[in-house]
Chain A
Amino acid sequence: MIEGMLSGLHLVMNWQVLGLMLFATFLGNFFGAVPGLGGNLGLALLIPFVFGMEPFLGLAFLLAMHSVVHTGGSIPGILFGIPGTGPTVATIIDGYPMTKQGRGGEAMGAQLAASALGGIIGAAVLALLIPAMRPIAMAFGSAEVFMLIVFGLTFIVVVSRESIPKGLTAALLGLLLGTVGLDPHTGVGRFTFDQLWLWDGLHIIPIVLGIFAFAEMIELGARGGGARIAESATELRMRWSQLWEGTKAVFREWWLSLRTAIIGTFIGIIPGLGGDAATWICYGHAVQTCKNSENFGKGDIRGVIGVETANNSKEGGSLLPTLVFGIPGSSGMAILMGAFLILGIVPGPKMITEHLDLVWGMVWVMVIANIIGAVSLYPLCGYMGKLAFLRASLLIPPIMVLAAVGAFLIRSHWQYVVLAVLFGFLGYGMKKWKYPRAPLILGFILGPLAEDYLHKSLGVWGIAFLLRPIVFILLIMVILSLGYSIWHAYRERQKERRQTA
């Protein structure tokens, strides 16, 4: 373990890696601070830049960017009540009232320190779990991994409780898109329409660029050319004394910080649960467990701390299933996994047996990126908050150009640019009619894996693979979680009916 840790540190302690990480954290904060952009879009736009890079260099660049997105994402939330990214919505509940009370600097200080601490704890938990995961990964054969994928997908259903059919349909569409191309088992061309460029299957990047980049730009543009994401700014004065006061509060509330960071990490481990769930669960936990909870929602600094530690710690957690089983813990990790494959890094059990230095390198990247990301924002947070006031006409051109170039560069096919635009329309439709987009990405990544493991399992054990002990336990968990979601949805509907009656 110590050897792996040191070799990972050796990989990171290189001026080229550190320089790129510094740039990446700036970009990550930017993508987080501009509402509507976010980490997924940032990752997809930056992937073309890692072509030809050394694997670890490219990996450090993307992971560092992704690790700090929510650090920057909370700034417009706290200062103006506009969430930069989805999971930072919960920060506003207490962060924005603090700004209105003239304690914006305190909230910002707490947010930055809690984000950094959460990121470090998430990476530390990941580091501690890696050795423990080794025997589990070794015990997991094709049947177990298949059922783990099914289990991960059912969590998509659990989190799409607002509309189970919509969440499931999006996941199934992703799974179906994953089957496009030559079937690796039979060589049959599936949904290829006699097009040579479809034989290798679809690539995740044009899909992500479409359903996130183009879709977001269509929405932003549809609001009007001069539309700003926010309409008015208040006078901002970040006093260092306030920032310091907020920072100290994170360490004064160390027990809450530790708890929410650990909860966030474990939520991150469960594929499909995502950042929104982590932050809302941790906010709820803070409200339920803290003394004098009547101030929550009115500007209680503990509300900011509880959410922000979870926000960054969950990234460490979601890296675990991605690296160990090749099952991404979130849509961001699904895109990152696509980038790993481009760089020649294949996530899966072999990562912790043959490339332990890379895994430890990633842990260090997360730790260092979270520190750089937070520290660099102390003097800049007031200015970063103003990014929420960028006009749409200034944002749309560079993002559309980068998205089109990125889609083309994946395989140098112009058809991929057309595909990205088509997925842009699909993504816009999904956003407009409230179909969650993350399940589509997860389904797309997990589909080919699930099919491969299903065929392998059926080939070795036949249908009896379902009776293998771990598979059977996972199957029971799948049935229970599905049953619970359906029962919960039914109960909610009954409650609504009673309320309307």
Chain B
Amino acid sequence: MKARGGTLFAVALLVIFAGGLYLCREWSIKARLFPLLIILAGTALSVWLVISEIIGARSPEKRKDKPKRDELKAAFKPAKQKITPRSEAIMMLWVVGFLGMILVFGFWVAIALFIPLFMPLFGRENWKIVAFYTTGIWLAIYLTFAIGMKVSLYGGIFGLSW
């Protein structure tokens, strides 16, 4: 049987709830009463979801034939371009890359690096738009937060902040 993303996601939720069960075992009764109620219900539901996802994965043709609950609503959903695992992974890497830039160089450098890299490489935008966008966004953030609100943004591990 081929493992599906939905099953893995349900398993991840089960791990979160089961992990909570493990973590709360040493707390006092009063401290763990409420989380425990949530965790027990969450664990039971996650198990249910894992089982139903596995059953769903075993009989895909049955799922395909299943009539939609609200045909009218479904008919008006906009057509979306196809999302592939590769395109998902690429976009997630961009997000992680941006996060990495922030953590290492801080916000100011990360903004100045991310936008000119992302726009031409990912969106094939021309350099004029890229230059305009990078300058515009950087200045807007600087004027609003650093000058207007006088807040200091994170400077990364090198402390590049002012």
User: Which A residues contact B (CB, under 8 angstroms)?
Assistant: 35, 48-49, 51-52, 81-83, 89-90, 92-93, 96, 162, 165-166, 168-169, 172-173, 175-176, 179, 183, 185-186, 188, 190-191, 214, 217-219, 221-227, 229-231, 280, 297, 391-394, 396-398, 400-402, 404-405, 408-409, 412, 414, 417-418, 421, 424-425, 428-429, 432-433, 435, 447, 450-451, 454-455, 492, 496, 499-500
Q: Say if the beta carbon of B158 comes within 8 Å of chain A.
A: no
Partner of A179, one of B34, B45, B90, B144: B34
Partner of B144, one of A49, A414, A500: A49
Q: In the complex, are the beta carbons of A397 and B72 less than 8 A apart? A: no
Q: How far is the CB of A162 from chain B (nearest CB, A)?
A: 6
Given A169-B13, A172-B41, A429-B9, the answer on whether A393 and B119 have CB atoms closer than 8 Å is yes
Q: How far is the CB of A209 from chain B (nearest CB, A)?
A: 12
Q: In the complex, are the beta carbons of B66 and A425 less than 8 A apart? A: no
Q: Say if the beta carbon of B15 comes within 8 Å of chain A.
A: no
Partner of B122, one of A221, A280, A429: A221
Partner of B5, one of A52, A172, A188, A432: A432
Contacts of B32 in A (CB 8 A): 190
Partner of A405, one of B17, B67, B145: B145
Q: In the complex, are the beta carbons of B149 and A51 less than 8 A apart? A: yes
A421 to B97, CA, bound (A): 11
A180 to B137, CA, bound (A): 34
Q: In the complex, are the beta carbons of B123 and A393 less than 8 A apart? A: yes
- B: interface residue count bin: 35 or more
Given A223-B83, A226-B124, A417-B154, the answer on whether A404 and B34 have CB atoms closer than 8 Å is no
Of the listed residues A93, A190, A230, A391, the one surrounded by the most CB atoms of chain B closer than 10 A to its CB is: A190
**Which of chain A's residues has its CB closest to B99's CB?**
A421
Partner of B35, one of A179, A224, A408: A179
Q: In the complex, are the beta carbons of A176 and B69 less than 8 A apart? A: no
Contacts of A52 in B (CB 8 A): 149
Q: In the complex, are the beta carbons of B31 and A81 less than 8 A apart? A: no
Partner of A172, one of B6, B30, B45, B79: B45
Q: How far is the CB of A256 from chain B (nearest CB, A)?
A: 20
User: CB within 8 Å of A: which of B143-160?
Assistant: 144-145, 149, 151-154
A424 to B99, CA, bound (A): 12
A186 to B28, CA, bound (A): 8
User: CB within 8 Å of A: which of B64-84?
Assistant: 65-67, 69, 72-73, 76-84
Q: In the complex, are the beta carbons of A190 and B125 less than 8 A apart? A: no
A-B contacts, 30 listed (Cβ < 8 Å): A51-B151, A83-B76, A162-B69, A168-B45, A169-B46, A172-B42, A183-B30, A191-B23, A219-B83, A221-B94, A221-B122, A225-B122, A225-B123, A226-B123, A226-B124, A229-B78, A230-B78, A393-B118, A393-B122, A394-B119, A396-B118, A397-B114, A400-B114, A402-B141, A432-B5, A433-B5, A447-B38, A451-B34, A454-B34, A455-B30
User: Which B residues contact A (CB, under 8 angstroms)?
Assistant: 5-6, 9-10, 12-13, 16-17, 20, 23-24, 27-28, 30-35, 38-39, 41-42, 45-46, 48-49, 52, 62, 65-67, 69, 72-73, 76-84, 87-88, 90-92, 94-96, 98-99, 102-103, 107, 111, 114-115, 118-119, 122-125, 129, 133, 137, 141, 144-145, 149, 151-154
Contacts of A492 in B (CB 8 A): 69
Q: In the complex, are the beta carbons of A169 and B123 less than 8 A apart? A: no
Contacts of B62 in A (CB 8 A): 500
Contacts of B72 in A (CB 8 A): 93, 297
Q: How far is the CB of B160 from chain A (nearest CB, A)?
A: 13
Given A168-B45, A190-B31, A224-B87, the answer on whether A496 and B67 have CB atoms closer than 8 Å is yes
A21 to B80, CA, bound (A): 34
Q: In the complex, are the beta carbons of A190 and B24 less than 8 A apart? A: yes
Contacts of A82 in B (CB 8 A): 78
Given A176-B38, A396-B118, the answer on whether A408 and B107 have CB atoms closer than 8 Å is yes
Q: In the complex, are the beta carbons of A409 and B145 less than 8 A apart? A: yes
Contacts of A186 in B (CB 8 A): 27-28, 30-31
Contacts of A185 in B (CB 8 A): 30-31
Contacts of A398 in B (CB 8 A): 133, 137
User: 4 smallest A-B Cβ distances: which pairs?
Assistant: A393-B123, A221-B91, A225-B123, A188-B31
Contacts of A451 in B (CB 8 A): 34
Q: In the complex, are the beta carbons of A496 and B66 less than 8 A apart? A: yes
Q: How far is the CB of A147 from chain B (nearest CB, A)?
A: 15
Q: In the complex, are the beta carbons of A223 and B81 less than 8 A apart? A: yes
Q: How far is the CB of B130 from chain A (nearest CB, A)?
A: 10
Q: In the complex, are the beta carbons of B88 and A418 less than 8 A apart? A: no
Contacts of B102 in A (CB 8 A): 404, 414, 417
**Which of chain A's residues has its CB closest to B89's CB?**
A222
Partner of B81, one of A81, A227, A397: A227
Contacts of B16 in A (CB 8 A): 173, 176
A168 to B5, CA, bound (A): 20
Q: In the complex, are the beta carbons of A223 and B65 less than 8 A apart? A: no
Contacts of A81 in B (CB 8 A): 76, 78
Q: In the complex, are the beta carbons of B38 and A433 less than 8 A apart? A: no
A496 to B65, CA, bound (A): 10
Contacts of A190 in B (CB 8 A): 24, 27, 31-32, 35
20 further contact pairs, Cβ within 8 A, besides A81-B78, A404-B98, A425-B92? A51-B149, A52-B149, A165-B49, A169-B45, A179-B35, A183-B31, A186-B27, A218-B91, A218-B95, A219-B83, A221-B94, A230-B78, A391-B123, A397-B115, A397-B118, A400-B114, A408-B154, A447-B34, A455-B34, A500-B65
Contacts of B10 in A (CB 8 A): 433
A158 to B152, CA, bound (A): 45
Given A190-B27, A400-B95, the answer on whether A222 and B153 have CB atoms closer than 8 Å is no
